[in-house]
Amino acid sequence: MDGARSLLLALVLAAALATVVPARAQGTSPPEPPSKFRDPEDGRFDVSGFLDTAHGFLPLIVPITEPALGYGAVAAATFISGKGLGEGTRPNIATVGALRTDNGSRGWFGAHLGTWLDDRLRTIVALADVDVNLEFFGIGGEQISEAGLTYSIKGKGGVLGGNYRIGASDLWIGLRYANVRTTVAFEDAASGLPGVLPSDSKLRLGALTPSITLDKRDNFFTPTNGWYLDLSVPVFRDSFGSDRNFEKLDLTGMWFRPLGERLFLAVRGSAKDSSGHTPFFLRPYVALRGVQDLRFQGQQAAEVEAEVRWRLKSRFSVVGFAGYGVARSSYVQDREASVTAGGAGFRYLIARRYGLHLGLDLAGSADDTAIYVVFGNAWLRP
């Protein structure tokens, strides 16, 4: 599950579940203050005012729809503040909560996303203790089971990091530190599985992740113009508190362009690599709507996805999307597995001043069909 996406989705659910204050009777009563949940321009439901003035914790329920975890929910108390921040800027978010799904996955977490120094510094602090049930399908084209082998992974640890803007440019330099203890157990015997090492069963993992990001999007939440490029390189070393030395690499690019007054095109591409001693559960995988997370893993993985959004006359939009992904490995000989996926959905402009959209996508591939709750856009980056 994308933790940042769930945290941000909590913003909209808070507004939707909030109690509406009844109107005052006409007469000598003082005038009503501006509504936090209605746009003064068109009178429609809108949470821009809530973002500007929100203070205090709110009880929330956020749906989980990722096929890898099953269906369930996150229950959380969340603090959100957008007051004083510019349009499109990431709000400050703090949350504490727990999750549970129908496949037995469960856990708790706490996190804070901060924006400081007039949006020159963005920070993340997170702690979590989770026990999730997943399925292993093999690495690259080495298909070990059509249905997948069930395994559980327990993880306990945290992340601390930040990104700093260079001068007045759109270039950000980042550094994160993560330390997690993991325990993995297969439902059936896992000895001899390609890509799975005996020591993968219990590890302490510590990593520094330097990153460089060029962000020229016109909006943080739902961009319509510009592009984004990010290179992140997690480095796991014993000097950082890791039981095993290995590296990963993640290069992601996104491009947004209006094709007319109401038609918008977006394209995302990603390429990922991992070194020889990477634990199997951290191997790169194809990340597409309609494809179960971790179903197509490899030593390397890549995908490309395009989306077209048509804005209707009201606040609603309809979207269509399609993508292709491939995972490769070379344990015995060069192998690869590929997949195509696509689908459609709708969006509602939930906060006009911030350019925020909320919606649902129905997506499918040859093996999976899933519904996704989308906040901002499907490729939201914290």
pLDDT for residue 332: 52
Helix and strand element counts for the chain (H, E): 2, 17
The shares of helix, strand and coil residues in the chain, as percent rounded to the nearest 5, are 10, 50, 40
Could you tell me if 123 and 113 are in contact, meaning their C-beta atoms sit under 8 angstroms apart?
yes
With tokens 């603090």, the residue in question is: 79
**Distance from the first to the final alpha carbon of the chain:** 14
Q: What are phi and psi of 169, to 5 degrees?
A: -85, 180
Domain 3-21+32-375 class in CATH: mainly beta
**CB crowding 174-193: b at 16 or more within 10 Å, else e:** bebebbbbbebeeeeebeeb
Indicate the pTM of the whole model. Answer: 0.85
pLDDT for residue 162: 97
Could you tell me if 232 and 209 are in contact, meaning their C-beta atoms sit under 8 angstroms apart?
yes
pLDDT for residue 81: 73
Residue 294 per-residue DSSP state = T
Which sign, positive or negative, has the C-alpha torsion 40, 46, 48, 51?
positive
Q: How far apart are CA 273 and CA 276, in angstroms?
A: 10
pLDDT for residue 27: 47
Find, among 80, 201, 177, 77, the residue nearest to 123 by Cα: 177
Residues 6+ apart with CB under 8 A from 60: 10, 13, 14, 17, 74, 75, 76, 77, 78, 97
> Angle 165-247-170 (CA atoms, 0-180°, nearest 5)?
15
Could you tell me if 299 and 139 are in contact, meaning their C-beta atoms sit under 8 angstroms apart?
yes
pLDDT tens digit at each of 382 positions of the chain: 444 444 444 443 433 333 333 333 344 445 555 667 787 777 788 877 776 665 545 667 878 888 888 889 989 887 777 665 665 577 788 889 999 999 999 999 999 999 999 889 999 999 999 999 999 988 876 666 667 889 999 999 999 999 999 999 999 999 999 999 999 999 876 667 778 888 999 999 999 999 999 999 998 889 999 999 999 999 999 999 999 999 999 999 999 999 999 999 999 999 999 998 999 999 999 999 999 999 999 999 999 999 999 999 889 999 999 999 999 987 655 688 899 999 999 999 988 877 889 999 999 998 889 999 898 899 987 7
